[in-house]
Every structure is written in structure tokens, then in C-alpha cells.
Amino acid sequence: MIRVPTDVIFRSAAETDLPAIVALLADDVIGAGREDVSSAAYLTAFREVTADPRNQLVVADAGGEVAGTLQLTYIPGISRMGAERAQIEGVRVAAAHRSRGLGREMINWAIEQAKARGCGLVQLTSDKRRSDAIRFYESLGFESTHEGMKLRL
Amino acid sequence: MIRVPTDVIFRSAAETDLPAIVALLADDVIGAGREDVSSAAYLTAFREVTADPRNQLVVADAGGEVAGTLQLTYIPGISRMGAERAQIEGVRVAAAHRSRGLGREMINWAIEQAKARGCGLVQLTSDKRRSDAIRFYESLGFESTHEGMKLRL
């Protein structure tokens, strides 16, 4: 656990955080149409994520309130000299906590986790409509070298 | 195992396939500078990949020869109604087996695996310099909706 200047603690999500996490995912211009906060599917998914040693669902806890969330996945692989890569998904910051540097703290924290684990690479994809997010990640050192391609099933 | 028209079998990689897989990764304009086929790190990575139930290293086996490879990672997550996503990494087809539709068979096979598992999404990133690869994935239904952002550690 790291205490950031804004007095926010980063920790693994508990099951009691799940409604707040789902609400964050749904409170988003792009994500809203993809979520139904009443679904029981989230609990099943939560348990799968938290039971997996290569996945960590993280919350930024501001005095007991979920101020942000992200998911880290550690992917082993043969390429790049057998380097493990850390992947970041589902990054959200609560509206009341935006524009205070919390997103930057969250991503920097995730990068530090990946470094401490010995990962060779951190990767993420960001919807091209989120131009602010893309600039934000670039300001943290990420390079937009790849096309992020998706196929919905 | 699925037998494709070209008489190629898709199966999980065995440790004896590893030198051929590494050679495929190194025999690539972009990948060449990132690999050292003499490294012992690949064996450690191979064992991590194959020990993980959410990762599958696949080879296209043409009469005992490794004609192609890809890695599948099944990532659980909260977003998109708790949908699991399938991620494809490290796609390579051996020079002698290119332009015969094997790459298409491999990706379609991976998509079918993801469907059978109930995944909501298949995703991959492709280096923007690989314009042929990007067109190829688009022809299979993938959409370049996201920036694929990488940070080397």
C-alpha cells in the first residue's frame, strides 16, 4: 500500500467495493452503454479476477470512498527475451476526484508495481475517442506505437 | 485440435517446440532486434506460460514442423458486464508457410476458441509499421478503435 499526497491509499479491491467499481465503469461517456449495474455477472467476474494470481483489481481508497480503479494483468510470454508484460485495463477516476493528479498517481503506481515485479513492458489500449486520455498516457512515457484492435463476439 | 485444409494441426506448444518458436519470433523485421535465440530466459518463460490456465501457447504443426505460433491469454474483468476477453499476442507464420492462408486459419481458430469459452471480446495490438498485418486483421473483423500504447521498462 502506498499513501499518495492526496491521502489516497491504493489497495486490492474487496467484494464490498464492487458496487462502487461498477458505478465508476458505468459513469463514463463510452462505457455507459456497455454496463448494467444491476447485473449479477459482475460478482462472478470479480471472484474470477481476485482468485487469479496474475490479475489484480485495484482501488484508490480515499477515506473509505472508491476514488478510482484499475486492473493489472501480468502476462507471461516468449517474445522480448521471455519478458513478462504488465497490462492495465479499466482505468477510471470518480468525477469528484478528477483533475487532482489522482489518475497520474494511479498509473505511476501501476508502473512501479510492474517494475518491482521485473516486467519488461507496461501496455494498455485507450479508445481513440479519448484524446485527453491518450495525451495523458503519452505524458507518462507511453508511446502509441500500436493499433489496438478489437473484435466483439 | 482442428485439422485445417493445409493439413496443419493447431495444438498447445511442447517444450521441444520452443527453439522453433523463438526462431520464428527472431525471424521478423521488427522482432529481430528484441531476441537472442541463445538465451535461457525463454525456457523459464515457456514454463510460466504453459503452467498458467489462462494462457495458451499455440503452434501450427505442419507434419511435425512449427509453421506458426500465437499466444492466447484469457483475461477476466469487471467491465463490459464482467466479460472475459481473449487476447492474442506473438503471432508469427514461418516464411516457408506464408501467403497460403495459414495466418487466417490461425486467427479464426483463436476466435473460435474464444467464442467456445464465452468471451465477449477478442483483442490484440499490432505495430503500426505492420500495415499488411493491420489490413489482415481488419479483413477478419477486427476494428482499430484503440491506440495500443507501450512503455518499455
What pLDDT is recorded for position B35? 84
Question: Is A115 part of the contact surface with chain B (CB cutoff 8 Å)?
Answer: yes
For residue range B115-144, list pLDDT tens digits in order. 999 999 999 999 999 999 999 999 999 999
- A58 within domain boundaries: yes
The residues near A71 (Cβ < 8 Å, ≥ 6 apart) are A49, A55, A56, A57, A58, A88, A89, A90, B77, B78
Which segment of A21-35, B82-96, B136-150 scores lowest on mean pLDDT?
A21-35
- A145 within domain boundaries: no
CATH number of the domain enclosing A58:
3.40.630.30
- pLDDT for B3 beyond 50: no
What pLDDT is recorded for position A38? 80
- pLDDT for A13 beyond 60: yes
- B38 within domain boundaries: yes
Per the listing, cell 495490438 goes with B125
CB contact under 8 A, A82 and B46: yes
- A3 within domain boundaries: no
What pLDDT is recorded for position A6? 57
- pLDDT for B6 beyond 60: no
- B26 within domain boundaries: yes
Nearest-by-Cβ selection for B146 from A52, A75, A148: A148
What's the number of domains chain B is made of?
1
Please give the model's pTM, rounded to 2 decimal places: 0.93
Question: Is A26 part of the contact surface with chain B (CB cutoff 8 Å)?
Answer: no
- A79 within domain boundaries: yes
- pLDDT for B13 beyond 70: yes
Bridge-based pairing state of the strands A85-93 and A121-127:
parallel
- For A103, list phi and psi in degrees, rounded to 5: -60, -45
CB contact under 8 A, B145 and A128: yes
Domain of A36, in residue numbers: 8-139
Per the listing, cell 490461425 goes with B106
- B147 within domain boundaries: no
Question: Quick one: what percent of chain B has pLDDT higher than 90?
Answer: 84
- B64 within domain boundaries: yes
What pLDDT is recorded for position A30? 82
